[in-house]
Structure 1
Amino acid sequence: MSTSSQTFNAPAGLKTVVVLGASYGGHRAAKVLAGGLPDGWRVVVIDRNSHANHVYNLPRYAVLPGHEHKAFIPYDNIFSISPSSPPKAGHIRLHAHITSLGPHSVGLSRSFPEYGIEEPLLHFDYAIYALGSHLPSPINLWSANPDADFEKHGTPKSISPSYQGTKPEGICWLQRHQKRVKEASSVLIVGGGALGIQFASDIAAVYPNKQVTLIHSRRRLLPKFDESIHTEILQCFEELNVEVVLGERLDLQSVHEGKTNEAGQRVVRTTTGRQVPADLILLCTGQVPNTGLLAEMDPRAVIPDSGLAPVLRTMQLNVPLSNDSSTCEQGSLYPHIFVVGDAADAFGAINAGHNAYYQAEVAAHNVLKMISNQDSSRPASSELAENKHGKVDEELGWYTPGQPRIKVSVGLAKTVFQVDDVVGTKSDGMDDLNASAMWSFLGMKVVGEEDMFA
């Protein structure tokens, strides 16, 4: 077990709740905390990106030119409850890599003397871990290799040393991807999840003369949802002339062999021996929980088989105090650390931004409740957790997953959706997937197209 030294570098007496990651879950956690923390407390949000990356729109913008700037949304109002209600002073956002995690400290890629952080190490009293998952290579802006995969526990094998997570860099990345798609006469998409479905249908819709093939290892697309969604998507693929191969898995070794045919196309094969030629291969599988920092802090903080972090219903990291399952004294060794979103083993919740949002809401409100319950005469939170033996406070809120829901575009205008038990389609889609709605949701006022260049 590795730990970082506890260096308290905040202004004297100021306590810190750190939010690691500022995407869908982290963004919500920061806003709830900023609106509820008492005097003497601050929120520190750390993210490697300068702007919020609207991941769900990246596949569209990686194919269709002209909208790529809309995927990167400023964090300007991350601490604001509403436009008319500015946040308290003292909350800060750091654009940095997180290099290490200890029980009460987080290592940073650089110091921030302008905020009183003289060393690249930040002490915290509570933490919400919202680092999500590493994305598949076709939308992983940080990957140095478009065919990159991952080591165990979600550590990327290949990270671009030059990429710094800024909006101009992200725009250029998407434009390069657009060029790759445009120049390919045939495209193979591997993986029939939402990402693969969107890439296949968007490419076929924008470039109807391209040969587009999708391979999926299962017999059904999106098997966690109603079968009618699978049927509807297959019908859309037929209309778009997308060839679909179900029930066959790609032999990844064939991807790395680099074989080509006489036409110069790459040739890969499935595990059944089927050979598929393509100019461009998009591996839309392999999304891996970003829990490497937790595993380095304490190997027990990550489930070996899944790479997910075990959590209590309160979203607290669930590393038991004792390995003796017969003991009646149950609790967490890290009651002050919460894990939300794709990194958490959250009781069957699917990986989705809306689930990360609600998990973060539960976690943030529980942090506020724990702080509220802490008497002024009690010691700091590190000692408080020890005094309470890490037992879960029965007053804390619990997270219960809702029924699976999804909305996936199939072509430029059509969407297929499921909300609870209701399944349907719409044909009113916009080329930019209504990007301004997410800008507004994240607190940015959008009057015209020009506003989304910020």
Structure 2
Amino acid sequence: MFEKPLLVINGIGFGLSTILSLLRHSLSFRLKLLRHFMSPSSPSSSSSSEKPRNIVIVGASIAGYTAARTIAQYLLPNSPYRVVVVEPRDHFHFTWVLPRFCVAEGHEHKAFIPYGGYLPPGSLEADGGKVAWIRDRVARIERDAVTLEGSGEHIPYEFLVVATGSGATDSLPSRVPASDKEEGLALLRHMQRRIKEAKDLVVVGGGAAGVELATDAKSKYPEKNVTLVHSRSAVMHRFGPRLQAAALDGIKELGIEVVMGDRVVNEDKEKGVAVLKSGKEIVCDFLVNCTGQRPDSKLIAELSPSSISESSHILTKPTLQIQDDSLPNIYVCGDVSETNTTHPNTRSAMRQAMVCAFNVLAGIEGKKPKDVYEPHWLDGVIKLTLGLDKSVSNVGDEKTEFLFPTKERKEELMAAGAWHKLGAKPFEDDGSFLSKIKSKM
């Protein structure tokens, strides 16, 4: 009887505590900034004689990007530290819209958001900017440095934030397996063509990506035979029963065939069938794999094997320091971290990134890290599309669920909002970011 009111009260309390924490950090920084400008003997950060001390961030999906932004925002003008971001992609990939853009044509460019706008103004300036951005991959992490894959450059660090995410080896519709925007666009358009031309589409995996791609495809091409194969007894099995039921109802209303408790073991392209573990064969001329992603933890696995969980996540302390006491200056955030977050997503990744950022900022002042990350059910809010014009949002803890069915008016979904959030004007991309980072380096 009281479950829903208590859930609402808990959510409001969590929101207020989060806001108060950010206000506390902001006020503390403003006081430090005031003291800095009032002190006549403040050293200049532009001194050429002092070599910058690096805070290296590996990966610039939402967790790494947020960590870079937060640290750069709170570094004092005279700080000898700089943020060094290592990211191989030329654009931010807005992965939430990928299942939709694998089906709906003409929107694929909206999944690639220009980097740079989310950083504090002037961060990338060649003279005095607080951020250096390197378009490369990290090949190896050592106790005090990282080695780049492309250039072989050895970059020392005083603090390291690992935000390598998950699904690095996955393909569409979960991830775009390309570092260049143009290559990514080509892959999305190829997927659109394959789905459009298919008569018998088989989608493997009943999580969010599989449900959304299958329902979008059937909604756009109702004449197609679409089959969703899921190895569990319910679609959206990581969520509560109300969302599971709503998802299954939406799938069946569109006329999609659902096979649960079975898995695809082989695709026989000559016969034109997908073969299931049970022996059943499903007519198939195009199969899309939407199964789960693996955390990209190999760099830490080489440095500290004991810090890797059975699920290949990186084990962390509540402060998000790696669970290896010999490496107190290494922090981890986002999908690659083991934080017991029930439904990891953008919100949890951003909260973790800010915990890492504020603890790093404390560390450069010689203070112990005191910010901690605690999972909260509000991080698990999900909006699930069930066709081109229908969606359902779900929020709740393990005991109580709220469902909010909505009509989708824009085929591009929330792409424009994501561009705004990351400091870019929808959907304008002049390619200026790459020229800025080249001049910076």
> Residue 281 in 1 paired to residue 287 in 2?
yes
Q: Which residue of 2 aligns with 1:70?
A: 110
Q: Which residue of 2 aligns with 1:260?
A: 270
Among candidates 309, 315, 337, match of residue 310 of structure 1: 315
CA drift of 1:237 comes to 1.2
Among candidates 390, 393, 398, match of residue 414 of structure 1: 390
Q: Which residue of 1 aligns with 2:39?
A: none
Change (3 A) 1:140 1:231: closer
Which sits farther off after the overlay, 198-207 or 217-226?
Answer: 217-226
> Residue 178 in 1 paired to residue 188 in 2?
no
Q: Residues 288-328 of structure 1, C-alpha deviation per residue, up to 9 Å, x if partnerless?
A: 0100111112212212x211110001111102xxxxxxxxx
**Alignment TM-score, normalising by the size of structure 2:** 0.80
Q: What amino acid is aligned across from residue 56 of structure 2 in structure 1?
A: V
Q: Residues 306-355 of structure 1, C-alpha deviation per residue, up to 9 Å, x if partnerless?
A: 11110001111102xxxxxxxxxxxx221111111111111234231221
More helix by share: 2
Change (3 A) 1:11 1:414: farther
Q: Tell me, what secondary structure is at the counterpart of 1:248?
A: coil
Among candidates 169, 174, 182, match of residue 168 of structure 1: 182
Does the 8 Å CA contact 1:31/1:81 hold for their aligned counterparts?
no
Among candidates 171, 195, 199, match of residue 137 of structure 1: 171
Change (3 A) 1:142 1:197: closer
CA drift of 1:213 comes to 0.4
Report the Cα distance in structure 1 between the residues aligned to 2:409 and 2:373, rounded to whole angstroms: 32
Q: Which residue of 2 aligns with 1:159?
A: none
Change (3 A) 1:259 1:66: closer
Q: Residues 363-421 of structure 1, C-alpha deviation per residue, up to 9 Å, x if partnerless?
A: 111111111235xxxxxxxxxxxxxxxxxx4x511101111321111111211111233
Q: Which residue of 2 aligns with 1:443?
A: 423
C-alpha RMSD of the superposition: 2.4
CA drift of 1:13 comes to 2.9
Q: Which residue of 1 aligns with 2:90?
A: 50
Change (3 A) 1:11 1:106: farther
Report the Cα distance in structure 1 between the residues aligned to 2:87 and 2:234, rounded to whole angstroms: 36
Q: Which residue of 2 aligns with 1:5?
A: none
Change (3 A) 1:54 1:82: farther
Change (3 A) 1:444 1:272: same
Among candidates 240, 243, 248, match of residue 234 of structure 1: 248
Among candidates 278, 299, 316, match of residue 272 of structure 1: 278
Q: Which residues of 2 match residues 99-248 of structure 1 at below 5 A? A: 99-111=139-151, 120-134=153-167, 136-139=170-173, 143=177, 163=178, 165-248=179-262
Q: Tell me, what secondary structure is at the counterpart of 2:363?
A: helix
Change (3 A) 1:14 1:426: same
Among candidates 370, 374, 377, match of residue 396 of structure 1: 370
Report the Cα distance in structure 1 between the residues aligned to 2:258 and 2:112, rounded to whole angstroms: 32
Give the count of matched residue pairs.
Answer: 374
Q: Which residue of 2 aligns with 1:370?
A: 363
Q: Residues 184-203 of structure 1, C-alpha deviation per residue, up to 9 Å, x if partnerless?
A: 11111111000101110111
Report the Cα distance in structure 1 between the residues aligned to 2:214 and 2:121, rounded to whole angstroms: 39
Q: What amino acid is aligned across from residue 131 of structure 1 in structure 2?
A: T
Q: Which residue of 1 aligns with 2:55?
A: 17
Q: What amino acid is aligned across from residue 46 of structure 1 in structure 2?
A: V
Structure 1 unaligned spans of 5+: 1-9, 112-118, 144-162, 320-331, 375-392
